[in-house]
């Protein structure tokens, strides 16, 4: 009965994955469905790394996402997102329509490449982290286009001027308009996916170009067009979006990127428990005595991979501040020109004083 269940499970999973051959397959050294493959100190240490990373990530998300409206970082609300941050550009001279057109082109090309990859290699190609990440980047660009279908274009409103939305004459204690609409779950999901893709794209491309291609591929292996595109085009389009959009980049959302990577590893574990397959990447193979070190090293690599985009966001902010002298909004309006902010604050205080004087005059006998 047990052998029949094994054969049935193996049959359906192999139908889903297709042939297990790939352009850089590691050598199959041991049956991954045996108990001895999993019941050992190597898997125990790797499981501890993965579970610890997931627990810490969940705690970080719970701490900052649940209380982000009360948290402060350098006088700003940490992680706060407004609804108009999703479609605005980082400089008011760039109309949001240009960003929308860019995302439309990116989505069309990325989806075409992904479909071509699946048609050429079969649905089994989704077995790899590269395709997981590429799909996530495609979803990121497609999600914005889908949001435009079901929502009204904010920049068509008469209160919109370029990418600066004037919604209130008064400012709150953070130097932001009182009436800016907070992000809905749709916009928040867009922000989270943006930050997940940032780390995942860098991790995927760095591992491929710096480790897999020079050291782990067969001597006769030759790069083909789709392989190059899968490990470069997504990063190029994402970088272009980064230097145009107005999204924030709080570092605590690295937790989502870590969870994304851990889910992929757990998916591979569950799959290999039931079916003896080649590992998509040699460093995931638990039969090596160095497996815990490999897992730990890849986990540590997530920090600089995510940090690269953090640095790019700071470079963008510094570059825009020095290049342009007009009032700009960077990271969703978190930074405004000091002159603009002071003028609006003075205007609000003058209106408040005139209102108080009017009340005093009306109360006189």
In a structure prediction context, what are the per-residue pLDDT tens digits for the chain, which is 365 residues long?
Answer: 545 555 454 444 443 334 334 445 555 568 899 999 999 999 999 999 999 999 999 999 999 887 655 544 444 455 567 777 787 888 777 888 898 999 999 999 999 999 999 999 999 899 999 999 999 999 999 988 887 766 545 444 433 443 333 334 444 444 444 456 666 777 888 889 999 999 999 999 999 999 998 888 877 888 889 999 999 999 999 999 998 988 888 999 999 999 999 999 999 999 999 999 899 999 999 999 999 999 999 999 999 999 999 999 989 888 877 776 554 444 444 444 444 444 444 555 565 555 555 545 555 55
Assigned domain for 110 exists: yes
Assigned domain for 356 exists: no
Assigned domain for 353 exists: no
Q: How far apart are CA 20 and CA 7, in angstroms?
A: 17
Assigned domain for 335 exists: yes
**Domain membership of residue 290 as a residue range:** 30-348
**How many domains is the chain built from?**
1
Element (H, E) at 325: none
Assigned domain for 267 exists: yes
Assigned domain for 360 exists: no
Contact 33, 6 (CB under 8 A): yes
- Which 8-state DSSP code applies to residue 215? I
Q: How far apart are CA 127 and CA 283, in angstroms?
A: 15
Please name which of 244, 255, 254, 257 lies closest in space to residue 331, comparing C-alpha atoms: 244
pTM: 0.76
Assigned domain for 12 exists: no
pLDDT at 352: 53
Beta bridge partners of 182: 82
Q: Which two tokens stand for residue 99?
A: 């960003």
Cα Rg, the chain, nearest whole Å? 25
Please name which of 134, 105, 144 lies closest in space to residue 245, comparing C-alpha atoms: 144
Contact 327, 342 (CB under 8 A): no
């Amino acid at each position: 009965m047990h052998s029949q269940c094994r054969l049935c499970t193996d049959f359906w999973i192999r139908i889903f994955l297709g042939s297990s051959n790939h352009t850089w397959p590691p050598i199959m050294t041991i049956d991954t469905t045996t108990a001895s493959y999993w019941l050992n100190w190597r898997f125990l240490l790797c499981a501890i790394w993965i579970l610890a990373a997931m627990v810490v990530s969940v705690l970080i998300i719970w701490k900052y996402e649940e209380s982000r409206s009360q948290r402060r970082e350098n006088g700003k609300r940490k992680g706060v997102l407004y609804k108009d941050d999703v479609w605005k550009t980082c400089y008011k001279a760039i109309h949001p329509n240009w960003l929308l057109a860019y995302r439309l082109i990116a989505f069309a090309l990325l989806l075409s490449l992904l479909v071509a990859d699946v048609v050429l290699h079969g649905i089994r190609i989704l077995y790899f982290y590269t395709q997981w990440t590429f799909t996530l980047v495609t979803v990121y660009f497609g999600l914005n286009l889908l949001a435009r279908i079901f929502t009204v274009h904010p920049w068509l409103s008469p209160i919109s001027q370029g990418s600066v939305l004037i919604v209130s004459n008064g400012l709150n204690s953070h130097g932001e308009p009182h009436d800016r609409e907070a992000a809905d779950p749709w916009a928040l999901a867009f922000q989270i996916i943006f930050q997940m893709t940032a780390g995942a794209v860098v991790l995927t491309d760095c591992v491929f170009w710096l480790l897999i291609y020079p050291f782990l591929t067969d001597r006769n292996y030759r790069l083909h067009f789709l392989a190059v595109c899968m490990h470069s085009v997504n990063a190029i389009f994402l970088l272009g979006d980064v230097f145009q959009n107005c999204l924030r980049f709080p570092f605590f959302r690295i937790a989502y990127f870590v969870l994304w990577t851990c889910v992929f590893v757990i998916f591979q574990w569950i799959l290999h428990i039931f079916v003896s397959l080649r590992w998509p990447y040699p460093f995931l193979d638990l039969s090596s005595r160095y497996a815990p070190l490999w897992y730990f090293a890849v986990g540590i690599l997530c920090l600089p991979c995510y940090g690269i985009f953090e640095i790019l966001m700071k470079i963008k902010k510094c570059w825009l501040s020095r290049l342009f002298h007009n009032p700009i909004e960077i990271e969703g309006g978190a930074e405004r020109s000091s002159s603009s902010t002071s003028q609006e604050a003075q205007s609000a205080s003058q209106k408040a004083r005139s209102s108080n004087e009017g009340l005093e005059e009306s109360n006189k006998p």
